[in-house]
A and B are shown apart, each in its own frame.
Chain A
Amino acid sequence: MKYFRKLFPLSGKARRNYLIAMLFVFAAGYFWQPGFSQNQSVPQTAPAVQTAESVGHFVAFSVFTDKFAPMERIALITVLLIAIAGLLYAVMLAKQVLAADQGTKKMQEIAAAVREGSNAYLGAQFKKVGPLIVIITLILFLTYSGSVDAFRWGRAASFLVGALFSWTVGFVGMRLATNGNLRVAAAATRSYGEAMQIGYRTGTVTGMLTDGLGLLGGTIIFLIFGEQAYEALLGFGFGGTLLALFMRVGGGIYTKAADVGADLVGKIEKDIPEDDPRNAATIADNVGDNVGDCAGMAADIFESYEVTIVAAMILGMATFGHKGVIFPLLVRGIGVLGSIISTYTVKAGKDDTSDTALKSVHRGFWIGSAISVFGFIVLGFFYLRFPGILKDAPATFWGMNPMDPSFWANFGFPGLDMRPAIACFIGVVLAIVLNKVTSYYTHTGHNPVKSLAKACQTGHATNIIQGFAVGYESTVVTILVIAASIMLSVLVYAGTPPLFVAYGVAMTGIGMLTLTGNTISMDVFGPVADNANGIGEMGYEPVEMEKQEPGSYKRARQILADLDAVGNTTKAETKGIAIGSAVIAAVSLFSSFIAVIAVGSEDKITEMTIAQYAIEAGKLTVANPMVFIGFLIGGAVPFLFSSMLIRAVGRAAFDIVKECRIQFRDPQIWDGSKKPNYGRVVDICTNTAQKELIGPGFLAIMAPILVGFLLGPYALGGFLAGMILVGQLLAVFMSNAGGAWDNAKKMIEDGIYGGKGSDAHKAAVTGDTVGDPLKDTAGPAINPLIKVMNMVSLLTLGLILQYNLITPSVQEGSARLVGLLVAAVCAIAIGWAVWQSKRESAAQEAELG
Chain B
Amino acid sequence: MQLHLYMLCYRFEALVASHLEPEAFGRYMAVGTQKNTRGNVLFFEIDGKKLHNDYFHLSDIEERCVPHPDGSPKRSKYISIYRVLEHLDLNAFEKLYLGTADGRVLTLEASPYDAKEERRGANLYDELCPVSPMVVSALPPASFATFMTDPKNPVSVPRIFFADMLLDRDESGRLAGYLPYSDPLHIIDCVKELEQGSGKPSKTVSRTPLVHGFFRTIRRGFFVGDPSGIKFYRFPERRELEVQYAKWWRSASESLS
Interface residues of A (CB under 8 A from B): 267-268, 270-274, 276, 278, 537, 542-543, 546, 551, 553-554, 557, 667, 670-671, 751-759, 761-762, 765
Contact = CB atoms under 8 A, between A and B. Distances in A.
14 contacts: A271-B102, A271-B255, A271-B257, A272-B251, A537-B250, A554-B239, A557-B246, A670-B102, A754-B181, A755-B216, A756-B216, A757-B255, A757-B257, A758-B212
Interface of B: 24, 27, 31-32, 39, 100-103, 176-182, 184, 212-213, 216, 239, 242-244, 246-247, 250-251, 253-257
Given A273-B102, A670-B103, 18 more contacts: A271-B256, A271-B257, A272-B101, A272-B102, A272-B251, A272-B254, A542-B244, A546-B244, A553-B242, A670-B102, A752-B177, A752-B178, A754-B177, A754-B178, A755-B180, A756-B216, A756-B253, A762-B212
Given A542-B244, A754-B180, A670 B250 contact: no
Contact of A273 (B27, B180, B244, B250): B250
Contact of B31 (A270, A276, A542): A270
Contacts of B250: 273, 537
Contact of B101 (A271, A278, A543, A765): A271
Q: Which of B39, B179, B180 has the most CB of A within 10 A?
A: B180
Nearest to B176: A751
A412 B29 CA distance: 84
B242 A554 contact: yes
A595 B23 CA distance: 75
Nearest to B100: A271
Contacts of B176: 751
Closest 6 CB pairs of A and B: A757-B213, A751-B178, A758-B180, A271-B101, A754-B180, A273-B254
Contacts of B246: 542, 553, 557
A752 B176 CA distance: 8
Contacts of B179: 754-755
A282 to B, nearest CB: 13
Contacts of B184: 754
A543 B244 CA distance: 6
Q: What does DSSP make chain B's interface, helix, strand, loop or mixed? A: loop
Nearest to A457: B184
A671 B247 CA distance: 13
A276 B251 CA distance: 9
A675 to B, nearest CB: 16
A267 B256 contact: yes
A546 B182 CA distance: 36
B256 A757 contact: yes
Nearest to A274: B254
A757 B40 CA distance: 13
Contacts of B251: 272-273, 276
Contacts of A756: 180, 213, 216, 253-256
B256 A268 contact: yes
Contacts of B212: 754, 757-759, 761-762
A757 B216 contact: yes
A334 B73 CA distance: 73
B102 A758 contact: no
Nearest to B101: A271
A671 B27 CA distance: 7
A537 B246 CA distance: 10
Nearest to A667: B32
Nearest to A558: B242
Contact of B177 (A268, A542, A751): A751
